[in-house]
Structure 1
């Protein structure tokens, strides 16, 4: 019973920490507020995680792993290459739609703490290598068949990530623009997803 209570308390603190860190970043987040949201006292938070830095590291590593591995299920889909690229763009965009604060959170922490960028490299590079190797092998086949032009898979991956991620890093701007034009920002985001697909597929045309 005690072990179950410990797991529940630790998870409640983690959930509260994720919410606060993603909303405010490391610098502006207070552990007293995390404890309040989690429904525990500050001493209990300290008991489970010791310091704000330790708690942030757990949240940060979890979110970086989620972001770095977001392509993994998509890359395994057995589809013709251009259909697969379309599927990847859509699925990645939908992942970001479900986690809209994640890109800015990660980028902001990279800019303010170089050590966190190093941690990202350690966590993400193995997954990125697997993705690029898989892309290259399938692209080579598609190029030989004359289905796509020959481009570097690194640039293809960067094109997809940069087009999709920008829509969420710039979400406050997009939301403001949509409102000023009398448009629903969610509908505008759906349009951006389709535009991103068109841009990438044009780039792949032989």
Structure 2
């Protein structure tokens, strides 16, 4: 693919993501997306024939990126505790870079059965290898008695809910928490990430 073509497609995807997050899928318009991207409406449809195609491409890229980040965690060949720490930090960092994504998923995917089924089919092949490897490590620690007898499903839900809830609550609590500068926000997120890590690890310790 030529450089100009690659750059144009990337601009369209970035513009579409901003449009979807700001207005929702139903209210997003390809004309507005083209304007954001600084290209003609005709060129947008040359690369992406429908709004649905753009939507699915953006979600697919997010899933692939998260999968790649999790694979990097596995490549560290660390023990279970360190792998779990890296998992929590990786997911937190991913959502921190995409803070509007949790609400977008809830609004546009989980509330629509057709989109939900498509998203599940997209997620599983990318994330199952990592989750299976982590569960194997978890079960090994469980059998040795080095961690408390909890289920892997509950552990996973604790990680996801702790991390995501931060970014769902922040738009409401930002002023109350006096996070009125980038420096304060960055400091808060670093501290919150470590707090989440310690909460999960402490809950597993015997």
Contact 2:179–2:185 (CA under 8 A) maintained in structure 1 = no
Counterpart of 1:198 in structure 2 is 198
Give unmatched runs, 5+ long, in structure 2.
Answer: none
Contact 1:16–1:37 (CA under 8 A) maintained in structure 2 = yes
Please report how far the alpha carbon of residue 172 of structure 1 lies from its aligned counterpart in structure 2 after TM superposition.
0.2
SS at match of 1:10: helix
Q: Scaled by the length of structure 2, what TM-score is found?
A: 0.84
Contact 1:63–1:102 (CA under 8 A) maintained in structure 2 = no
User: 1:96 and 1:81 mapped to 2: Cα distance?
Assistant: 23
Cα-to-partner distance string for 1:20-66 (whole Å, 9 max, x where unaligned): 22333212222122111212222222232222222222223222443
User: 2:72 and 2:142 mapped to 1: Cα distance?
Assistant: 23
Counterpart of 2:187 in structure 1 is 187
User: 1:6 and 1:91 mapped to 2: Cα distance?
Assistant: 31
Contact 1:174–1:185 (CA under 8 A) maintained in structure 2 = no
Alignment CA distance shift 1:166-1:80 (3 Å): same
Give unmatched runs, 5+ long, in structure 1.
Answer: none
SS at match of 1:178: coil
Q: Scaled by the length of structure 1, what TM-score is found?
A: 0.84
Give me the CA root mean square deviation: 2.7
Q: How many residues align?
A: 205
Counterpart of 1:178 in structure 2 is 177
Counterpart of 1:118 in structure 2 is 117
Counterpart of 1:23 in structure 2 is 22
Counterpart of 2:71 in structure 1 is 72
Q: Which stretch shifts more, 80-89 or 173-182?
A: 173-182
Cα-to-partner distance string for 1:130-152 (whole Å, 9 max, x where unaligned): 23321222123223433212322
